[in-house]
Amino acid sequence: MVETTGAATGATGGIVAGTAAGEAAGAVPLADVRRMWHLLEPLHAVLYYAPEAFEEAAALGYEVGERWPAYFAFRAAPLGAVGAVRAASAFYSMSPRMVERYIPAVWETASPAAVLAARSRGVDRAYRSLFGDRVPGPEMREAAALARCAAEAADLSGRPLAAANAELSWSREPHVQLWQAATVLREHRGDGHVAALMTAGLDPVEALVSFAAIGAASREVLGSREWSAREWEEARERLAARGLVAEDGAATEAGRALRERVERETDALAAVPWQALGVDRTARLAELLGEFWVAVIGSGLLPAANSLGIGKV
């Protein structure tokens, strides 16, 4: 998933009641749908950076010191022993060559079931390290219950990564439940974001080029998706032919408008879980998540420069 963070509103800022044009009275505003993503994304992303998770991956036999084998195994495991074509389809903005380097090879090291068990252990340990005595606390239990309610209300049709994670059994531990719910909700949003990109006519590499063009992330950061310089330039030329980027690679007014439509559509497609939770309970969850969000961002685990804007809201 490749998204902007939208307006520079604080992720820990309060949920504000009210509606924008086109939003039903009493509904959770789309700005708050996006804010809930801001709050939950870092809680999910801990898996891909925490040393505890890497230790669990190493115990399975994955190479120590390299992020990607563990990343692909952890993220794809809910899909089963998936092949490269299906994985690349779901991950969308990653070069198929990159995906093929790791999938299906990761299943030769450990089965998806073993990876899922290691994933849960890694999250359990990482959260205990990050949150300390707040793990067994009432705020964690309440946050987990509310986040799970939202996740269980997610509409899963056409959302392969969200559905695969939603199908897994829930942990008995509230802090692991919170991570599971955050994961279902972020993959639900990500699957919807792919649909929004496709509706806008942006193929995987065009999605990255247009994202860089509005200054949301640098080309160097997005280079981790491993599209070649030629593929990047060809995508820029296609976007230029549509009037979406200028010769210098910066987005035109039309290009910025298109990206904003993509983000608005992503918010709308991510709204169902939050509308099911309701304004008051969504606001309460946002309040509860604030201290956990601060702990994750303050830990330094997540990179300052990233393709999602984590920690910049």
Handedness of CA 205, 208, 211, 212 (dihedral sign): negative
- Give the model's pLDDT for residue 1: 55
- Give the model's pLDDT for residue 2: 56
Domain boundaries, the chain: 30-299
**Helices 174-199 and 112-131, interaxial angle, to 10°?**
110
- Give the model's pLDDT for residue 66: 84
Tokens of 226: 């491993």
- With tokens 């201290």, the residue in question is 291
- Give the model's pLDDT for residue 217: 86
- Give the model's pLDDT for residue 23: 63
- With tokens 């994750």, the residue in question is 296
Q: Cα(98)–Cα(88) distance, rounded to whole angstroms?
A: 9
Tokens of 36: 């809930």
Model confidence over 143-162: pLDDT tens digits? Answer: 999 999 999 999 999 999 99
Please state, as a whole number, how many other Cβ atoms lie within 10 Å of the Cβ of residue 184: 30
How confident is the chain (313 residues) per 10-residue block, as mean pLDDT?
A: 44 49 74 97 97 97 89 98 96 96 97 98 98 98 98 97 98 98 98 98 97 91 92 97 95 98 98 98 98 97 71 34
- Give the model's pLDDT for residue 49: 95
Q: Position 22: which residue type? A: G
